[in-house]
Amino acid sequence: MSAAPPPVIVLVRPQLAENIGKAARAMLNFGLTEMRLVTPRDGWPNPLAGPAASGADLVLEGARVFESVAEAVADCAHVYATTVRKRGVTKPVVTPEAAAREMRGAAERSAILFGPERSGLETDDVALARTILTVPINPEFGSLNLAQAVILVAYEWSKGETLASPPETDLAPPAPQAELEGMIGQLDQMLEQANFFFPPDRTPATKRTLRTLLTKPGWSSQEVRTLRGVLSALAGAKAKRR
């Protein structure tokens, strides 16, 4: 676990409550919980944020509102401004990965600024930061939505944290070859009865293709039994129609 305090996520003049909710969801996915809002356009709290957060209520309930960026980051010693352009301000420029290393190595609080959806951070906002944080991105299409930007940064921070990995699920062992041969034989017989193999001279090649298809995945015994049950059901249905 990192000894550094987790960074604060500061949304500057966010426009849509839904995007605030999505940003909260992105934060909590990677262990960040402190959100600060600078003059959200539609006010706060906003009921539209909850559904978009998909359960990240902890973040939304703790979100604090500030009248200015300066007030929102007043207790933070390290402030990063996320932007795809330097906007005429000469400051160090780092990637999310480098910024995460710096934040984990600092004892003081860090804040990361994200601008409004339509225009991003203004020059005056960036001027308050000590470092510019930018993502290597397609120069022909440098458009990230707010939640995407937050999740990129939050993910890099999470690499230094102890977070639970998705649970592993044991795969069933492959079926014995005899079981697989029984299933293929059953299918061949049903296809013969259905006059599937035509023209006759193509029958060997068609059967090889089917065998390749059926042996490629590494079927488990349960999967073989399931498919054979399907084939038996189809054969029974066909017999009833006669």
Residue 18: give its domain's CATH number. Answer: 3.40.1280.10
Whether 168 is covered by a domain: the verdict is no
Q: 226 phi and psi, to 5 degrees?
A: -65, -50
pLDDT of 88:
60
Asked whether residue 29 falls in the same domain as residue 127, the answer is: yes
pLDDT of 174:
81
Whether 172 is covered by a domain: the verdict is no
Whether 197 is covered by a domain: the verdict is yes
Asked whether residue 107 falls in the same domain as residue 68, the answer is: yes
pLDDT of 212:
81
Do 113 and 83 form a contact (C-beta atoms < 8 A)?
no
Give the residue numbers spanning the domain of 233.
Answer: 177-241
Asked whether residue 148 falls in the same domain as residue 193, the answer is: no
Whether 165 is covered by a domain: the verdict is no
Asked whether residue 27 falls in the same domain as residue 117, the answer is: yes
Q: Number of structural domains, the chain? A: 2
Asked whether residue 25 falls in the same domain as residue 130, the answer is: yes
Whether 3 is covered by a domain: the verdict is no
Whether 169 is covered by a domain: the verdict is no
Out of 124, 158, 192, a domain closes at 158
CB-based burial label for 127 (10 Å; 0-12, 13-18, 19+): middle
Rounded Cα gap, residues 32 and 29, in angstroms: 8
Asked whether residue 234 falls in the same domain as residue 128, the answer is: no
Q: How many other CB atoms are there within 10 angstroms of residue 90's CB atom?
A: 7
Residues 6+ apart with CB under 8 A from 65: 36, 37, 38, 39, 40, 44
Asked whether residue 70 falls in the same domain as residue 147, the answer is: yes
Whether 127 is covered by a domain: the verdict is yes
Out of 158, 192, 207, a domain closes at 158
Asked whether residue 227 falls in the same domain as residue 119, the answer is: no
Residue found by looking up tokens 């510019």 in the block: 132
Asked whether residue 104 falls in the same domain as residue 221, the answer is: no
In tens digits, what is the pLDDT along the chain, a chain of 242 residues?
A: 457 899 999 999 999 999 999 999 999 999 999 999 999 999 999 999 999 999 999 999 999 999 999 999 999 999 999 987 655 667 899 999 999 999 999 999 999 999 999 889 998 999 999 999 998 888 788 778 999 999 999 999 998 776 655 666 677 788 889 988 998 898 888 888 888 888 889 888 888 887 887 887 777 787 788 778 778 877 776 666 55
Out of 131, 158, 185, a domain closes at 158
Asked whether residue 85 falls in the same domain as residue 203, the answer is: no
Asked whether residue 228 falls in the same domain as residue 122, the answer is: no
Whether 67 is covered by a domain: the verdict is yes
pLDDT of 207:
86
